[in-house]
């Protein structure tokens, strides 16, 4: 979230050497002359020069300093090699971390916030009074940052309007239109473009071409040419006065851009045309007062709309696990990005929940958004009966490529609960098809959670789950005690022995055992010892029942392994996946089975009796494929290891606070267990006040953040928890 006293503009070139730096520098000069406090940010500079002290000096920043001595400047990353940022980072980065758009965007946001805090409102700027931030890109919009992100992704994360600098030479129209398309596909607003004569026109034909270019780009690209910057040879003149004169000329040529920035709708508070007209005719002082009054008025309209929206929500919309008449409070969210949720009114929250654990790559990840948009353009959804499509097939290939190798068949379900239903049906059908008709029950342990549909509910914890409410309807399943053997303590086989006894007593009735491997999620955030899972697996084999592992919460890296069953080196017969599968963008889950299970069900012409309208939805499959592609990159390993370390650091101090009975961390999961139920309503409001999004349940205050969250953001989450517990806000 940016301070509202800063106008932020990204400046992109149609190519390397399009003249971005000259335009940025001249624009900064014009801004400073107009009385704007101005900050120039160069996020990535390649081709930096090593000075006498051995320090890197950014040539673009040096040029900006000469042109606009009154502007502040900031260079974030610098490389000496003059090549693409990706290659420069590969060649020079000592810690071998790839360049990534997300942390860079965060860093830029921080620089702007700190700078804006230290500056005051200006009063004689065109349009509403703000400060100006100019971010000069590197190369063109598709200049690579890494093997999967370009500069466009960084701009998209920032979301600032973009000024396009078009190098006015042969090919200008093509380059300009390609760049505009790159902006459009990232939903980036484009302020307009500047035609920059990178060198003097040498022939009559060249002059003619340049005369026509801006019009062609305006009509084909639907964006205004805000200024033409003629070739300015004086910028390199040896005499200071000649250079000054040249910069003055360039700044003058660009003043229409400054005006466009000041009056651009995206920046201005919502005012009517009439208000705007009156604004233009009044003196500067009253204009400032009017702007403030209009901002208040606009804020009030927003407030009224917001109140009406929340009222309708409260009176008519059902939220999870709430009374329809006395619901818990809900906040209106209007945007998300990375590990942040933006609320109506501008408050920004650091997200500790990954939206119930699914947004593993953070929100609005450009890679996922792009996959979704591309698929939407060709085919959003088709029935899966009798038809198939590449997104489903490619996702299936990826899933089988990363899942335990024994799994060979994929069923796409629309949600985690449905994936569990399908798994249960597979197991029951398998038993029936094999002629073991007495095997009609499922065994599990207490403390589990597998979803909210009837079949899934029947294997949830019988006390904390909803069994009591539905006791007449739910299938009767068989329960063993919760595995008390902690993940981080020496193994105590007592739990396994209790399980063995119960299974032996019912062996011929049990079609399958279903477990969440290692981490019991919504049933209590409990981490149990891998040896227990190994033991249960052996018992299943011994008694001829299938093992279903529900990795809906744990799959795709959450526990530090790609799948939690890898902690125990166990391969299930049936595997349920969901949540992080689509990176939290679309609803999709999958049930994977071994060839033996599929073959068993197919005996005597048998088929799996399940299929739903939205099965293998193409949008969901496309975005999931993109999510798995990110996972295959392997970056999650380091991220989750980092999260485990930082969560441990941040949450351990809670262990000695009154009311806390346990603090446990595994992978990207951090749990603080209290002695009694927490006051969810009070605690949640407290957290929102602290600028974090944490939703506790039962006796648990826990964190399951997106993997891309920064150390500072985790620290913010942990501090908020510590403060809530210290201040007893949970009671
Ligand atoms: C969330 C969850 C489910 C249910 O998934 P939904 O998509 O909410 O239906 C099932 N099992 C486990 C382990 C879960 O965490």
Q: What is the pLDDT of residues 150-186, one digit of tens each?
A: 999 999 989 899 999 999 988 999 999 999 999 988 8
Mean pLDDT of 311-329: 92
- C-beta 521 within 6 A of ligand 1: yes
Rounded Cα gap, residues 448 and 521, in angstroms: 7
Determine the pLDDT at residue 155.
94
Would the pLDDT of 271 be above 60?
no
Mutate to test the pocket of ligand 1, among 553, 572, 587, 614 (most ligand atoms within 8 A of CB): 553
- C-beta 553 within 6 A of ligand 1: yes
Determine the pLDDT at residue 290.
55
Determine the pLDDT at residue 281.
42
Indicate the burial class of 211 (C-beta count within 10 angstroms; 0-12, 13-18, 19 or more).
exposed
Question: Going by CA atoms, what residue is nearest to atom 7 of ligand 1?
Answer: 416
Mean pLDDT of 138-149: 90
Mutate to test the pocket of ligand 1, among 319, 449, 526, 580 (most ligand atoms within 8 A of CB): 449
How far are the Cα atoms of 23, 144, 145, 238 from residue 62, in angstroms, in the given order?
14, 24, 23, 16
- C-beta 417 within 6 A of ligand 1: yes
How far are the Cα atoms of 101, 662, 696 from residue 363, in angstroms, in the given order?
13, 30, 21
Rounded Cα gap, residues 57 and 73, in angstroms: 12
List, for residues 381-411, the tens digit of each pLDDT value.
999 999 999 999 999 999 999 999 999 999 9
- Closest of 536, 528, 578 to residue 554, by C-alpha: 578
* Range ranked top by mean pLDDT from 123-132, 172-181, 262-271: 172-181
Q: Which residues of 36-48 are buried (b: 16+ CB within 10 A; e: fewer)?
A: bbbbbbbbbbbbb
- C-beta 580 within 6 A of ligand 1: no
In angstroms, what is the span from residue 523 Cα to ligand 1's centroid? Answer: 11
Q: For residue 521, which atom of ligand 1 is closest to its CA?
A: 15
List, for residues 44-73, the tens digit of each pLDDT value.
999 999 888 888 999 999 999 999 999 999
In angstroms, what is the span from residue 670 Cα to ligand 1's centroid? Answer: 19
Determine the pLDDT at residue 293.
59
Please say if 550 is a catalytic residue: yes
In angstroms, what is the span from residue 151 Cα to ligand 1's centroid? Answer: 36
Determine the pLDDT at residue 3.
58
- Closest of 109, 39, 102, 50 to residue 79, by C-alpha: 50
In angstroms, what is the span from residue 630 Cα to ligand 1's centroid? Answer: 22
- C-beta 516 within 6 A of ligand 1: yes
Please say if 20 is a catalytic residue: no
Among 20, 72, 351, 449, which one carries the catalytic annotation? 449
Q: Do residues 424 and 442 lie in contact, with contact meaning Cβ atoms separated by under 8 Å?
A: yes
- C-beta 455 within 6 A of ligand 1: no
Q: How confident is the model at residue 276 (pLDDT cuts 50, 70, 90)?
A: very low
Question: Going by CA atoms, what residue is nearest to atom 6 of ligand 1?
Answer: 416
Would the pLDDT of 126 be above 50?
no
Mean pLDDT over the full length of the chain = 90
In angstroms, what is the span from residue 454 Cα to ligand 1's centroid? Answer: 13
Question: Going by CA atoms, what residue is nearest to atom 8 of ligand 1?
Answer: 416
480-484 CB contacts, 8 Å cutoff, 24+ apart: 480/443, 480/444, 480/445, 480/446, 481/445, 481/446, 482/445, 482/446, 482/447, 482/520, 482/524, 482/526, 482/528, 483/445, 483/528, 483/529, 483/532, 484/528
Rounded Cα gap, residues 631 and 627, in angstroms: 6
- Closest of 187, 185, 100 to residue 144, by C-alpha: 100
Cα angle 390, 396, 401; round to 5: 125
Determine the pLDDT at residue 273.
39
List, for residues 102-118, the tens digit of each pLDDT value.
889 989 999 998 888 77
Q: Do residues 4 and 121 lie in contact, with contact meaning Cβ atoms separated by under 8 Å?
A: no
Question: Going by CA atoms, what residue is nearest to atom 15 of ligand 1?
Answer: 553
* Location of structure tokens 């990826």: 398
Would the pLDDT of 125 be above 70?
no
- C-beta 514 within 6 A of ligand 1: no
Rounded Cα gap, residues 445 and 513, in angstroms: 9
Among 17, 321, 508, 712, which one carries the catalytic annotation? 321
- C-beta 414 within 6 A of ligand 1: no
Q: In what order do the strands lie in the sheet with 407-413?
A: 407-413, 589-594, 574-577, 546-550, 510-515, 441-445, 478-480
- C-beta 550 within 6 A of ligand 1: yes
In angstroms, what is the span from residue 494 Cα to ligand 1's centroid? Answer: 28
- 40 φ/ψ angles, rounded to the nearest 5 degrees: -110, 125
Rounded Cα gap, residues 358 and 699, in angstroms: 22
Mean pLDDT of 233-256: 92
Cα angle 566, 569, 572; round to 5: 85
Please say if 508 is a catalytic residue: no
- Closest of 605, 612, 603, 610 to residue 430, by C-alpha: 603
- C-beta 555 within 6 A of ligand 1: no
pTM score of the predicted model: 0.69
Please say if 449 is a catalytic residue: yes
Question: Going by CA atoms, what residue is nearest to atom 11 of ligand 1?
Answer: 450
The percentage of residues in the chain with a pLDDT greater than 90, rounded to a whole number, is 74
- C-beta 416 within 6 A of ligand 1: yes
- C-beta 672 within 6 A of ligand 1: no
In angstroms, what is the span from residue 450 Cα to ligand 1's centroid? Answer: 5
Would the pLDDT of 280 be above 80?
no
- C-beta 461 within 6 A of ligand 1: no
Q: How confident is the model at residue 265 (pLDDT cuts 50, 70, 90)?
A: low
Q: Where are the beta strands (DSSP E) in 321-402?
A: 333-337, 340-343, 348-351
Tokens of 656: 């000695």
Mean pLDDT of 195-221: 88
Rounded Cα gap, residues 68 and 40, in angstroms: 10
List, for residues 594-615, the tens digit of each pLDDT value.
999 999 999 988 999 999 999 9
DSSP state for residue 98 in the 8-state scheme: P
In angstroms, what is the span from residue 608 Cα to ligand 1's centroid? Answer: 22
Instruction: Please give the residue that has the higher pLDDT: either 367 or 585.
Output: 585
Q: How confident is the model at residue 99 (pLDDT cuts 50, 70, 90)?
A: confident
DSSP state for residue 144 in the 8-state scheme: B
Determine the pLDDT at residue 192.
94
List, for residues 515-549, the tens digit of each pLDDT value.
999 999 999 999 999 999 999 999 999 999 999 99
Cα angle 200, 206, 208; round to 5: 120
Q: Do residues 233 and 197 lie in contact, with contact meaning Cβ atoms separated by under 8 Å?
A: no
Among 414, 573, 579, 707, which one carries the catalytic annotation? 579
Rounded Cα gap, residues 292 and 286, in angstroms: 10
Q: How confident is the model at residue 305 (pLDDT cuts 50, 70, 90)?
A: confident
């Amino acid at each position: 979230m940016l301070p509202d006293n800063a106008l932020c503009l990204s400046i992109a070139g149609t190519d390397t050497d399009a003249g971005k730096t000259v335009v940025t520098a001249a624009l900064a000069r014009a801004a400073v002359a107009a009385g704007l406090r101005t900050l120039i940010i160069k996020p990535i500079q390649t081709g930096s020069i090593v000075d006498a002290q051995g320090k890197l000096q950014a040539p673009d920043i040096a040029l900006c300093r000469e042109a606009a001595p009154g502007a502040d400047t900031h260079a974030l990353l610098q490389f000496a090699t003059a090549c693409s940022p990706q290659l420069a980072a590969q060649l020079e980065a000592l810690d071998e971390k790839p360049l990534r758009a997300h942390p860079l965007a965060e860093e830029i946001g921080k620089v702007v916030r700190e700078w804006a805090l230290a500056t005051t409102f200006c009063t004689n700027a065109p349009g509403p009074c703000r400060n100006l931030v100019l971010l000069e890109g590197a190369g063109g919009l598709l200049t690579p940052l890494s093997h999967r992100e370009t500069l466009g992704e960084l701009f998209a994360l920032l979301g600032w309007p973009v000024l396009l600098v078009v190098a006015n030479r042969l090919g200008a129209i093509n380059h300009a239109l390609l760049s505009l398309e790159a902006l459009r596909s990232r939903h980036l607003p484009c302020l307009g473009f500047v035609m920059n004569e990178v060198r003097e026109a040498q022939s009559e034909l060249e002059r003619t071409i340049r005369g026509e270019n801006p019009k062609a780009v305006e009509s084909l690209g639907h964006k205004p040419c805000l200024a033409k910057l003629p070739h300015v040879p004086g910028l390199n003149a040896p005499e200071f006065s000649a250079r000054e004169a040249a910069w003055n000329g360039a700044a003058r040529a660009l003043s229409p851009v400054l005006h466009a920035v000041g009056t651009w709708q995206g920046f201005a508070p919502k005012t009517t045309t009439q208000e705007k007209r009156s604004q233009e005719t009044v003196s500067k002082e009253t204009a400032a007062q009017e702007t403030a009054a209009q901002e208040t008025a606009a804020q009030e309209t927003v407030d009224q709309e917001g109140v009406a929206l929340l009222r309708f929500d409260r009176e008519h919309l059902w939220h999870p696990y709430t009374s329809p008449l006395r619901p818990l409070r809900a906040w209106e969210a209007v945007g998300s990005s990375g590990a942040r949720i933006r609320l109506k009114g501008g408050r920004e929250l650091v997200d500790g929940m990954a939206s119930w654990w699914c947004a593993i790559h953070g929100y609005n990840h450009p890679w996922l958004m792009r996959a979704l948009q591309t698929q939407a353009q060709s085919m959003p959804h088709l029935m899966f009966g009798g038809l198939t499509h590449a997104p489903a097939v490619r996702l299936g290939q990826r899933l089988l490529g990363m899942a335990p190798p024994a799994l060979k068949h994929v069923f796409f379900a629309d949600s985690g609960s449905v994936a569990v239903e399908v798994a249960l049906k597979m197991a029951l059908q398998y038993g029936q098809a094999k002629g073991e008709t007495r095997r009609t029950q499922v065994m599990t342990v207490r403390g589990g959670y597998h979803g909210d549909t009837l079949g899934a509910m029947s294997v949830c914890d019988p006390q904390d789950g909803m069994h009591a409410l539905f006791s007449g309807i739910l299938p009767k399943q068989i329960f063993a005690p919760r595995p008390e053997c902690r993940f981080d303590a020496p193994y105590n086989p007592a739990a396994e022995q209790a399980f063995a006894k119960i299974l032996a007593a019912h062996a011929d009735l049990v079609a399958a055992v279903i477990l969440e491997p290692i981490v019991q999620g919504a049933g209590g955030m409990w981490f149990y010892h891998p040896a227990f899972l190994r033991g249960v697996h052996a018992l299943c084999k011994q008694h001829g029942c299938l093992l279903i592992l529900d990795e809906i919460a744990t799959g795709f890296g959450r526990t530090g392994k790609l799948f939690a069953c890898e902690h125990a080196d166990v391969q299930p017969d049936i595997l349920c996946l969901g949540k992080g599968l689509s990176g939290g963008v679309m609803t999709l889950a999958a049930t994977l089975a071994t060839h033996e299970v599929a073959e068993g069900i197919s005996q005597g012409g048998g088929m799996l009796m399940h299929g739903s309208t939205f099965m293998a939805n193409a949008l969901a499959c496309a975005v999931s494929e993109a999510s798995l592609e990110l996972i295959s990159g392997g970056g999650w390993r380091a991220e989750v290891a980092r999260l485990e370390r930082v969560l441990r650091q941040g949450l351990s101090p809670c262990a000695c606070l009154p009311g806390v009975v346990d603090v446990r961390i595994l992978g990207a999961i951090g749990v603080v267990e209290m002695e009694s139920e927490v006051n969810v309503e009070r605690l949640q409001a407290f957290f929102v006040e602290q600028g974090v999004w944490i939703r506790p349940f039962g006796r648990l205050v826990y964190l399951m953040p997106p993997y891309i969250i920064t150390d500072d953001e985790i620290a913010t989450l942990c501090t908020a928890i510590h403060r809530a517990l210290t201040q007893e806000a949970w009671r």
